[in-house]
């Protein structure tokens, strides 16, 4: 009992962060069943390997547009409304996958889902708005625990659905569940979220003028940012190239080349999430005493190590080591990076900077995602190998901050 009380006290979820955490947890119960197997679903519908990388790149491109608009809206119109409205769009996109029977029409839910990302800058800005500056890394780590812990073994359920009903039918059930849990999360957000930022009312403007001012605003944010913020943008570029090369084909490679069963792959994804959560609890205490930069560097070091383990894996023991190491570099690193983002910016430009960070990440991921499809057709391991130098570069950038 005392242990549970200690965990409760160590979590930091002020204001709207509680609502965002609970709704993200509910949503992840469904999305975690489907998302680890998305590339496998694309292939199951007959999508050529090269087009799987291209579809991922198209998703990234549409998300860039959404983030450009979303960061601007978050800073000139507030956070709550855009979160609620486009959470609805995101939930609907999952249902569209259920009706796709021809691989070309995957573009419909892909584009709708990517455009719903317009609310992500407002989401992260609301999180930062609600937290004390020195506690932001702790807050994002606490959010990660609450939002992912309930769905740790949801990917295992997704793997069993595929084994029981086949790739296409099993995934359609998974997407339906994702949409249902998403709808429940949207209802709670609409009912309980409070606004955290009320900007000064602005005059109505023509769309062309709004877009011009939006792009100019992002340029100003980038040019006038502190050195720490600019280095974070450089980190975003390097790490995103690495992720673009290494993540698209992991499920296909393990299931088709290493002959891992779908439910075993789901189990590995769950073990990664479990390792992350077990690490996050003591990490929260460490964040109160240590520089979050040190924690960021430690977490980032596990990325190239994880990929080295992956490419040399020959069985489940090796893959367990990869899964656990990857867990260290996942949510923990994301938490501290988001904390660094909040600390590097002021409230009035925070939505745009967070959007800019994601825009640069996606822009750098697009060519890597396109390249990954071509590399995979030539030599499946080559795309994973090429990611390692970029992971290493991202670590060096973090060290320099």
Residue 204: inside a domain, yes or no? no
The answer to whether residue 208 sits within a structural domain is no
The pLDDT of residue 9:
46
> Is 6 part of a structural domain of the chain?
no
**Beta carbons of 333 and 301 less than 8 angstroms apart:** no
Q: What pLDDT, in 10s, does the model give residues 239-270? A: 899 989 998 999 999 998 888 999 999 998 88
Domain count, the chain: 1
Residue ranges in the chain whose pLDDT is less than 70: 1-10, 200-215, 217-218, 220-226, 280-295, 327-336, 338-352
Our CA dihedral for 201, 210, 338, 94, rounded to 10 degrees, sits at 100
Q: How many residues does the chain have?
A: 401
Please, how many CA atoms are within 13 Å of residue 130, restricted to the half-sphere of its CB? 26
Residue 28 is assigned to a structural domain of this protein: yes
- State the helix-helix crossing angle for 16-34 and 80-98, rounded to 10 degrees: 10
Report the CATH number that the domain containing residue 34 is assigned in CATH. Answer: 1.20.1250.20
Residue ranges in 116-166 assigned as alpha helix (H): 120-130, 136-148, 154-165
Backbone region of residue 46 per phi and psi (left: phi > 0; alpha: psi in -120 to 50; beta: other values): left
Q: What whole-number distance in Å separates Cα of residue 125 and Cα of residue 300?
A: 23
Tell me, yes or no, whether 7 lies in a domain: no
Q: In which domain, by residue range, is 121 found?
A: 14-194+215-400
């Amino acid at each position: 009992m005392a242990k549970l009380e200690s965990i409760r006290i160590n979590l930091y979820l002020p204001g709207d962060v509680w609502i965002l955490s609970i709704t993200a947890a509910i949503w992840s119960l469904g999305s975690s069943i489907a998302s680890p197997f998305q590339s496998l679903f694309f292939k199951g519908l007959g999508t050529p390997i090269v087009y799987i990388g291209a579809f991922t790149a198209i998703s990234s491109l549409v998300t860039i547009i959404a983030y450009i608009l979303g960061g601007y809206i978050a800073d000139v119109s507030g956070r709550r409304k855009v979160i609620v409205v486009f959470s609805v769009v995101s939930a609907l996109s999952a249902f569209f996958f259920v009706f796709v029977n021809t691989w070309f029409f995957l573009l419909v839910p892909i584009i709708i889902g990517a455009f719903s990302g317009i609310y992500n800058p407002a989401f992260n800005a609301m999180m930062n708005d609600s937290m004390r500056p020195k506690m932001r890394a702790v807050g994002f780590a606490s959010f990660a625990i609450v939002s992912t812990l309930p769905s740790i073994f949801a990917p295992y359920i997704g793997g069993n659905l595929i084994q029981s009903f086949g790739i296409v039918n099993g995934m359609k059930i998974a997407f339906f569940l994702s949409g249902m849990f998403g709808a429940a999360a949207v209802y709670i957000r609409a009912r309980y979220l409070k606004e955290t930022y009320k900007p000064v009312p602005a005059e109505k403007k023509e769309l062309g003028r709004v877009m011009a001012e939006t792009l100019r605003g992002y340029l100003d944010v980038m040019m006038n940012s502190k050195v720490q913020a600019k280095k974070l943008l450089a980190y975003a570029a390097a790490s995103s190239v690495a992720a673009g090369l290494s993540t698209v084909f992991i499920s296909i490679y393990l299931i088709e080349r290493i002959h891992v069963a779908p439910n075993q792959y789901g189990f590995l994804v769950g073990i990664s999430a479990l390792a992350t959560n077990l690490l996050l609890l003591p990490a929260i205490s460490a964040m109160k005493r240590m520089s979050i930069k040190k924690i960021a560097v430690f977490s980032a070091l596990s990325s190239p190590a994880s990929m080295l383990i992956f490419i040399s894996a020959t069985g489940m023991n090796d893959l367990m080591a990869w899964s656990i190491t990857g867990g260290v570099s996942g949510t923990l690193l994301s938490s501290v990076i988001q904390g660094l983002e909040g600390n590097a910016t002021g409230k009035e430009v925070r939505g745009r900077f967070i959007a800019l960070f994601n825009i640069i990440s996606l822009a750098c991921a697009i060519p890597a995602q396109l390249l990954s499809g071509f590399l995979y057709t030539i030599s499946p391991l080559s795309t994973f190998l090429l990611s390692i130098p970029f992971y290493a570069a991202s670590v060096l950038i973090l060290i320099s901050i």
